[in-house]
Every structure is written in C-alpha cells, then in structure tokens.
Amino acid sequence: MKIIAGLGNFGDKYAYTYHNMGFLAADCIADKLNFRFKKRECDSLTARGFVNGQKVIIAKPLTFMNASGRAVRRLLDENGATAADLIVIYDDVDIEKGKIRVRESGSAGTHNGMRDVVGVLGTTEFARIRIGIGPQDRSRDIYDYVLSEIPQAERPLLAEAVELAAAEVLRRVNGE
C-alpha cells in the first residue's frame, strides 16, 4: 500500500499559491494514474485505485496546511498503513524554485505543515518530496509569500517541478 499526501490549503483562494505545490502534485499524480478525487474521508479528499495490484491512495488533507498531521494520521490508521507506506509532498522555501528534493526521512525543517505531520505521527521516518519555491523575497513576510498567487511567468517552471515530483512518486508506486 502507498498513501500519497499532497499538502496544501483547500479552496479556490489558495489553488495557485506557492503553498499548494503538494495539492498540485497530488492532482498531477491522480491524472497520470487515471484516479479521480471523489471521496471525502479521514479529513481528506481522496483518489483511490490499484497499481500493479498495490492499493494506492492519493490524499489532499482538508484540515488546512498547518493541521495536516491529523488527516495523515487518520489515513494511516483507517487503512492499516504505517509511516513506511507514506509519501508526503509539499513546498519548501529553502529549496530553489523549480527544484525537487527527495528524502526517505528527516526533520520538518521550517515547514509548519510538516512539523504538524511529524508531531502527530511521532516519527520522521517516512518519504517526502519537497518542491522548491525559494528563495523567498526577504522584504515580504513568509506567510504572505507562501500564500501569494504564483505569477504566470513562474508557472511553467513550477509545473515542471510538479511533473518531476509526480514521476518520483510513480517510480516508487511501480516498485522501481
């Protein structure tokens, strides 16, 4: 089993903000697998299916970013999964815009959504894919920056990063 949690904030207001890279990646993965987000469960909107006989759940927590841990914990518990089955995708202001970084474990860094996931799960031993949205314009408050709409000129670069993140997830789901 694989549970893929793309972190973000729900609603049209946040759809194309830097902080929604996880949701955008979740949408991309679902499209590539021909899964559809249609079920609300475990404080998340989910898309489900099977890949090579393996159950795959793609989730977009409905708890807002900084409370993502509750949704992720419920998804694991209600599906009999462990942190080893989990892949979390999220934005990272400390990584250059358009780059991704893949880790099997590690700290939450400066990301409040990941801090919540780590705190609720009680472990850092799960895979994560970070999509770079930095560097932040230091003249702006970080919250204003991550919740600001992605300028049209930057969307192609970030769309490429979302595709790279999706490819990494698909590689893992396919057992490569």
CA 27 – CA 59 distance, rounded (Å): 9
Beta partners for residue 101, in sequence order? 130
Cβ 114 vs Cβ 175: under 8 Å:
no
Tell me which of 7, 18, 19, 63 is the catalytic residue. Answer: 19
Spatial strand order in the sheet of 54-61: 39-41, 44-51, 54-61, 2-6, 86-96, 127-134, 100-103
69: which 2 tokens? 């841990």
Annotation marks residue 111 as catalytic? no
Q: Which residues are catalytic?
A: 19
